[in-house]
Structure formats: structure tokens, C-alpha cells
């Protein structure tokens, strides 16, 4: 699978490198807790298939521009948010390790 992904990335290698830089910069925060969480999210990135598709489609119908980078960032951010949401609720409720417990140790949930 990794070889296939690398082949797909070849025509957009420059855009993907720039995307990673822009995405990381956009995720930085002056709020220490938020910065720590977003840094964890950005450094544990996956294959980034969604941004790849945005850039490939942009090239297919014209060119990659700033709107392409914003679109790729939004899709990646929404995708990541859903993963974090699932991780927190499903794993914590089942007593498993979540990304938050990795950052902060054992978490106790309080329900009203």
C-alpha cells in the first residue's frame, strides 16, 4: 500500500510538502493546552489521502492554488476532528487508551 500511495503522490509532491508546512503552521496556538493537542494531532498524521485527492483534482481541472490548500486543510481538519471524537468517546468509555489519556494520563469522565 505504501508504494501505491507514494506513486499517487509523485505528481503533487511539492504541493504535499507545502501543505504539511501550511497545515502545521495553521494549527499552532498561543493556548498551551490547545497547542499541545494540535501538535500531537499534526505529528501523528496518517497518509493524508484527502489532501492528496484535493490537489490531484485541482490539477485535473486547472491548477493548485491557495483555495486548494484551504480546502485540503479544512477536509483534513474535519477528518481529524472526527477521529479524535471517536477516539475519545469510544476508547475512554471502554477503558482503553485514547490520545487524550496518552497526553494526560488516566481520564475520568463525569456525566450529568
CA dist., res. 73 & res. 76, Å (int):
5
Instruction: Please tell me the predicted confidence (pLDDT) of residue 112.
Output: 42
pTM score of the predicted model = 0.71
Query: What count of Cα atoms within 13 Å lies in the side-chain half-sphere of residue 35?
Result: 6
The pLDDT tens digits of the residues spanning 80-106 come to 778 766 666 666 666 666 655 555 555
Position of cell 496518552? 102
Three-state secondary structure call for residue 103 = helix
d(CA 7, CA 3): 6
55 three-class SS: helix
Amino acid at each position: 500500500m505504501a508504494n501505491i500511495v507514494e506513486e499517487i503522490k509523485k505528481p503533487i509532491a511539492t504541493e504535499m510538502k507545502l501543505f504539511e508546512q501550511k497545515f502545521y503552521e495553521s494549527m499552532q496556538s498561543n493556548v498551551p493546552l490547545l497547542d499541545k493537542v494540535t501538535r500531537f494531532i499534526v505529528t501523528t498524521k496518517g497518509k493524508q489521502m484527502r489532501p492528496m485527492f484535493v490537489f490531484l483534482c485541482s490539477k485535473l481541472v486547472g491548477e493548485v492554488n491557495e483555495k486548494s490548500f484551504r480546502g485540503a486543510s479544512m477536509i483534513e481538519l474535519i477528518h481529524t476532528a472526527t477521529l479524535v471524537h471517536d477516539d475519545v468517546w469510544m476508547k475512554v468509555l471502554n477503558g482503553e487508551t485514547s490520545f487524550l489519556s496518552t497526553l494526560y494520563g488516566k481520564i475520568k469522565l463525569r456525566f450529568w
